Amino acid sequence: MPPDLDAAAAQAGNNSSDFVRKLYKMLEDPSYNSVVRWSADGDSFVVLENEKFTKTILPKHFKHSNFASFVRQLNKYDFHKVRHNEESGDTPYGRDAWEFRHPEFRADRKDNLDNIRRKAPAPRKPTQAEDAFPATQQIVVLSESLAATQHQIQALQEQYFELAQTNKVLVNEVVSLQKMVRAQSQVSNELITHLNNIEDRRRNSRHSNHSSHSSHSGPSFHPSTLGLLPDGADEPAPELRRAREILNGVSPDSQADRDLERLSVAYHQNGSPSDSATSSVMFTQPGAPPQMPLVHDPINDPRHMVYPVGQTTGIDPFHSDHIHNIPYSRPLSNPNIMTEAPSQSSPPAKEQFVSLWGSKKPKILLVEDDKTCARIGSKFLSNVDCSVETARNGLEAVDKINHESDRFDLIFMDIIMPHLDGVSATAMIRMVAPRIPIIAMTSNIRQEDIQTYFQYGMNDVLAKPFTRDGMVRILKKHLSYMLKDPQPIGLGADDTNQTAGAPGPGPPNSAGGYGGSGPAGVAMATMAGGGQVKFEQTPIQSPATTSSWHSPSQMPHTSPTLDSSGYMSAQIGSGPGGIVLTPGGTQRPPYANQVVPQVGTPTLGRMPDGMGLGDDRPEKRQRLYGPSQGQYVQ
Amino acid sequence: MSHTYDRDGEDSFNMAYFGDHVHLATFNQILEMDEDGEHDFSEPLVFNFFEQADETFENMDVALAAEDLDELSKLGHFLKGSSATLGFTKIKDSCQVIQQYGHKQTVEGTAEPDKAVCLGKIKEAINTLKTDKIDLEKTIKKFFGIEDK
């Protein structure tokens, strides 16, 4: 044996084969023969008596008494248990014996021990390298889903906040209603008392008239005995009594009252008392029908849900400023938020859009005060083959429309702008261009905001920061009649869309006053999607509609949905059914003054809502009334 | 540093490149508007934005000195719009802070009636804004292959 090799082996051995050396040394000891020894061939070793080995030999040589650890250690050095049963069925060392073998571990090859090493953890390295790429991918995916989750949480927080706000308003409402009712019952009591007195006096006087001679027998006794008098005198009395009984019988649920009291006190401590102040003002005015709001509210509420079906499903969950491209309108497209990032990385869409339009390309007016946003928006639009003009504020936009009312096919309108804000501009534009779709572009997409936008004649909302896809979606939806191939929209209302849109944007007079229910109005209905069922309730609660359209036939119809199928196909897209069907139509009158009844008529229940809205955004309210008040110079 | 357009690698490249400064999906759709790998649309756009940001910072400083919360809120809102549209997340977030506290509200939307607190928060946010903008501008310049002076 060459000495240099030996030395090398020894050196390596120091590092790696301590365990193997100990093992070999242990097997050299003949006194262990009955417990552990080399096999006959010297190519394996056998633990004959497991228990003894564990208790006596292991501690001596390996400083522990755990057979399992010993076996694990062996495995690490690539020893394997020899299975006898499987191979031949004979067990030369007894059933409880453990035989271990390693190809290099032999009784006659002590010099070879250094070749027995721990199994390298080698396999990991290559896999790690392979994993590296998927790992970054995973991180991307994870961080994306994390961001999405964060957005959701944030949105939920905001939703919660809004709900809390609404609840507060409601509680205040109920409290003031309670006061109202209490006052009413007090009034009733007073009236009854008063009537009683009159009654008594009248009875007395009649009684004294008829039987002035028998005076002292007491008035209460006479009515029952005198058969002639009761007609006038006796009959009202039980009614009064009943009335009083009823009044007394209605004892307030004191527990509920106390709870409510606590709530309202809590709210007053937390928030602005203005809500309750305004609402109580609202409710003391009407006097006579204090119950009406209660009766109407439940009917009124669905109306709130009607046009923004997206309001609950589309906006609320995601109305944070930080989310890009919130598809306000269609619950369908909500997943966009999640899928946006992936969809960005698929640019081939570009080619597809070149041929998006039919013979005529849409002309878009982009009203946006921010240079950067305007440039990006213009670029996105021209990229999908639209011609774009921009206006830097509401005033410029109004000028352009005044100059040529049918120049544009669609307007994207920023909300907060200097000189004239987008909502006011829209109201003005509606006077000359009742049909053109006007899309609010804004990061203020709380539902009160959106309600305002719709009330002043806007048709849809594109959340800021806007994306190209978001813009395209709006274009496809509102300019479906200009598409070369309108099929892809693939919505149930597509047919109506086409028929209504067929006349084109040119002659709006075909539908007379309600030109508003052109393609845009229908699109609103489209937007509401499956919400048609809800519309069934609209005719009940929308007196404005009935009065303005003078449609006597409307009330008898129980289901406007039926109407729509009848009338819409008859090209009267704006018949009574049509209007009711498309709340956008009613919400979007051509003239601003029609908005007022819209807001005002539907009972008191609605008013506090409006008030809350005003509270929230005082600066907007101000600016609605013209540029003079706007300190927003830019 | 070359910027050949390799779609698959681009996102991860940009991710590593811009860190949390930039919302990639948003910024990428701006880059997609460029023709054939030239940054003829995005580059001037971005640098106009930086100019816009510098102007806004000056206005903010003036408004801060004047303790004009309304103006600060307005300026915050203004810059928020363009930064968000470009996907410049950090800048947008600071703008949001300024806008909110300009309205005497926390970022979560609860009232913060103490004007001094609001001004403090806004001052902080403006400082962050300026640093972030400098960092971002450096990164973007590198990305577009423009040497910093």
3-state SS of A29-71 is CHHHCCCEEECCCCCEEEECCHHHHHHHHHHHHHCCCCHHHHH
Let me know: does A471 contact A412? Beta carbons within 8 Å: yes
More confident residue, A524 or A252: A252
**Mean pLDDT in residue range A534-550:** 39
**Which residues 6+ apart lie within 8 Å of B18 measured at CB?**
B24, B27, B136, B139, B143
Model pLDDT for residues A475-514, shown as the tens digit of each residue: 988 988 888 776 544 443 333 333 333 333 433 343 333 4
Structure tokens at A113: 């021990």
Residue A121's pLDDT is what? 59
Q: How far is B81 from chain A (nearest CA, A)?
A: 7
Which of B11, B25, B86 shows the shortest C-beta gap to A372? Answer: B86
Nearest-by-CA chain B residue for A443: B81
Domain annotation covers residue A47: yes
User: Cβ separation of A344 and B29 shorter than 8 Å?
Assistant: yes
Does the model's ipTM exceed the 0.90 cut?
A: no
- Whether residue A102 has pLDDT greater than 80: yes
User: A interface mutation test: which of B15, B82, B96 has the most A CBs within 10 A?
Assistant: B82
Domain shared by A493 and A428, yes or no: yes
SS3 A176: helix
Query: Is A498 near chain B, with CB under 8 Å?
Result: no
Using the predicted structure, report yes or no on whether residue A197 has a pLDDT greater than 80: yes
Query: Higher confidence at residue B29 or residue A617?
Result: B29
Same domain, A189 and A108: no
Q: Which DSSP helix (H) or strand (E) runs through A521? A: helix A519-528
Q: Which of A443, A467, A634 sits opposite B29 (nearest CB)?
A: A467
State CA A99 to chain mean position distance: 67
Separation of alpha carbons A413 and A453, rounded Å = 11
Q: Which of A615, A538, A522 is nearest to A571 (CA)?
A: A522
Cα angle at A622 between B98 and A597, to 5 degrees?
A: 130
Nearest CA in chain A to B71: A632
Residues A263 and A342 in one domain: no
User: Model confidence at A205, in pLDDT bands (50, 70, 90)?
Assistant: confident
Residue A118 forms contact with B (CB below 8 Å): no
Using CA atoms, how far residue A301 sits from A132, A458, A596, in Å, is 55, 21, 19
Which residues are CB-contacts of B15 (< 8 A; sequence separation ≥ 6)? A140, B24
Q: Cβ distance A425 to A457 under 8 Å?
A: no
Which tokens go with A14?
A: 């120091």
Tell me which of B85, B92, B103, B133 to substitute to probe the interface with A (most A C-beta atoms closer than 10 Å): B85
- Which is nearest to A416 in space by CA: B53, B74, B102, B48? B74
- Give B148→chain A minimum CA distance, Å: 23
For B35, name the nearest residue in chain A, comparing CA atoms only. Answer: A383
State how far the Cα of B102 lies from the Cα of B117, in Å rounded to an integer: 11
Q: Which residues contact A486 (CB under 8 A, 6 or more apart)?
A: A480, A494, A497, A498
Residue A125 has pLDDT above 90, yes or no: no
Identify whether A104 is part of a domain.
yes
Bridge partner residues of A390 (DSSP): A366
Residue A468: burial class (beta carbons within 10 Å; 0-12, 13-18, 19+) = buried
Which range, of A158-172, A416-430, A545-559, averages the lowest pLDDT?
Answer: A545-559
Verify that A551 and A417 share a domain, yes or no: yes
Q: Are A277 and A351 members of one domain?
A: no
Give the model confidence (pLDDT) of A10-65 as tens digits: 444 455 578 888 888 888 888 888 889 888 888 899 988 888 888 888 888 888 88
Q: What gap in Å lies between CA A298 and CA A279, rounded to an integer?
A: 18
What is the phi/psi pair of residue B56, to 5°? Answer: -65, -40
Is the pLDDT at A133 greater than 90, yes or no? no
> Domain containing A62 — which CATH number?
1.10.10.10
Residue A197 shares a structural domain with residue A85:
no
Q: Please indicate whether residue A560 or residue A101 has the higher confidence score (pLDDT).
A: A101
The dihedral over CA atoms of A335, A340, A341, A343, expressed in degrees to the nearest 10, equals 110
Residues of chain B with Cβ-Cβ distance to A379 below 8 Å are: 33, 41
Q: How confident is the model at residue A9 (pLDDT cuts 50, 70, 90)?
A: very low
Closest residue of chain A to B26, computed from CA coordinates: A467
Mean pLDDT of A332-361: 50
Residue A341, chain B, CB below 8 Å: the answer is yes
| Cβ <8 Å between A157 and B108 | yes
Q: Which of residues 258-287 of A touch B (CB under 8 A)?
A: none
* CA gap A190, A443 in Å, rounded: 55
What pLDDT does B131 receive? Answer: 92
Which of the two residues, A163 and A534, has the higher pLDDT score? A163
Residue A460 counted as domain residue: yes
Tell me the HSE value of A245 on the side-chain side, using a 13 A CA sphere.
6
> Is the Cβ of B28 closer than 8 Å to some Cβ of chain A?
yes
Tell me whether B11 touches chain A (CB under 8 Å).
Answer: yes
A245-252's contacts with Cβ under 8 Å and 24+ in sequence apart are A247/A185, A247/A188, A247/A189, A247/A192, A250/A185, A252/A178, A252/A182
Contact present, A341 and A332 (Cβ < 8 Å): no
pLDDT at A251 (0 to 100): 64
The pLDDT value recorded for residue A434 is 86
* Neighboring chain A residues of B85 at a CB cutoff of 8 Å: 370, 372-373, 376, 464-466
Alpha-carbon distance of A386 to A203, in angstroms, equals 86
Same domain? A171 vs A280: yes
Which domains, from first to last, does chain B contain? Answer: 27-32+39-143 (1.20.120.160)
Question: What CATH number has the domain bearing residue A440?
Answer: 3.40.50.2300
> What confidence tens digit (pLDDT) does each residue in A409-429 have?
999 999 888 888 899 899 889
Interface with chain A: mutation pick from B29, B34, B107, highest number of A CBs within 10 Å: B29
Cα–Cα nearest to B129, from B64, B69, B44: B64
pLDDT of residue B55: 93
According to the 3-state scheme, what is the secondary structure of A586-597?
Answer: HHCCCCHHHHHH
Alpha-carbon distance A367 to A421, whole Å?
10
pLDDT at A52: 87
In sequence order, the 6+-apart residues with CB closer than 8 A to the CB of A194 are none
Query: B-chain residues within 8 Å CB-CB of A348?
Result: none
Spatial separation of the C-alpha atoms in residues A414 and A464, rounded to whole Å: 9
Exposed/middle/buried for residue A634 (C-beta within 10 Å: 0-12, 13-18, 19+):
middle
B44 CB contacts (<8 Å, ≥6 apart)? Answer: none
Q: What is the pLDDT of residue A145?
A: 87
Task: Single out the residue in A83, A115, A147 at which a domain terminates.
Answer: A115
Torsions phi, psi for A101 (to 5 deg): -140, 145
Nearest residue on chain B to A154, alpha-carbon basis: B108
* pLDDT number for residue B146: 77
> What is residue A631's three-state secondary structure?
coil
- Specify the pLDDT at position A512: 37
| Nearest CB partner across the interface for A370, out of B24, B29, B82 | B82
Cα–Cα separations (whole angstroms), residue A183 to A188, A190, A274, A275, A604:
9, 10, 22, 21, 18
pLDDT at A582: 37
CA distance A415 to chain B (A): 12
Q: What angle do CA B97, B46, A362 make, to 5 degrees?
A: 100
Q: Does A468 lie at the interface with B, CB-CB under 8 angstroms?
A: yes
Note whether B45 contacts A372, CB cutoff 8 Å.
yes
Integer Cα distance of A135 and A133 in angstroms:
5
Mutate to test the interface with B, among A158, A275, A370, A416 (most CBs of B within 10 A): A370
Asked whether residue A226 is domain-assigned, the answer is yes
Distance, in Å, from the CA atom of A508 to the CA atom of A435, rounded to the nearest integer, reads 7
Both tokens assigned to A262 = 């606590």
Rounded Cα distance, A467 and A465, in Å: 7
The domain total for chain A is 3
Percent of chain A with pLDDT over 90: 7
Among A57, A86, A115, residue at a domain's last position: A115
Pairing state between β A98-101 and A44-47:
antiparallel
**Closest alpha carbon within chain B to A342:** B25
CB contact under 8 A, A347 and B7: yes
Same domain, A340 and A449: yes
As a whole number of angstroms, the distance between CA B45 and CA B48 comes to: 5
Instruction: State the nearest Cα–Cα gap between A417 and chain B, in angstroms.
Output: 9
Query: Which chain A residue lies closest to B56 (C-alpha atoms)?
Result: A634
Residues A362 and A405 in one domain: yes
For residue A333, pLDDT beyond 80: no
Task: Work out the percent of chain A whose per-residue pLDDT is above 70.
Answer: 50
pLDDT above 50 for A229: no
Average pLDDT over residues A597-612: 39
Nearest chain A residue to B50 by CA distance is: A372
Average pLDDT value for chain A: 64
- Give the per-residue pLDDT at A88: 57
**What single string gives the DSSP state of each residue in A229-280?**
SHHHHTSHHHHHHHHHHHHHH----HHHHHHHHHHHHHHHHHS-THHHHHHH
Mean pLDDT for the stretch of residues A358-372: 89
Residues of A in contact with B77 (CB under 8 A): 416
Say yes or no to pLDDT of B53 above 90. Answer: yes
Query: Which pLDDT tens digit goes with each residue over A248-275?
Result: 776 666 667 777 777 777 766 654 444 4
Contact status, residue A384 vs residue A471, Cβ threshold 8 Å: yes
Q: Are residues A339 and A450 in the same domain?
A: yes
My answer on whether A458 and A586 are in the same domain is yes
Does any CB of chain B come closer than 8 Å to the CB of residue A148? no
Q: How confident is the model at residue A612 (pLDDT cuts 50, 70, 90)?
A: very low
Cβ of B104 under 8 Å from any chain A Cβ? no
Cβ separation of A380 and B78 shorter than 8 Å? no
Chain B neighbors of A371, CB-CB under 8 A:
48, 52, 82
pLDDT at B29 over 80: yes
Contacts of A532 (CB under 8 A, 6+ apart): A525, A561, A564, A581
The reply to whether A104 and A175 lie within a common domain is no
Are A327 and A334 within 8 A, CB to CB?
A: yes
With contacts defined as CB-CB under 8 Å, which chain B residues touch A469? 29
Name which of A64, A57, A67 is nearest A26 in CA terms: A57
Which residue among A56, A86, A115 closes a domain? A115
Contact B30 A140 (CB under 8 A): no
Q: Which of B25, B28, B96 sits opposite A321 (nearest CB)?
A: B96
Domain residue limits at A183:
155-211+220-290
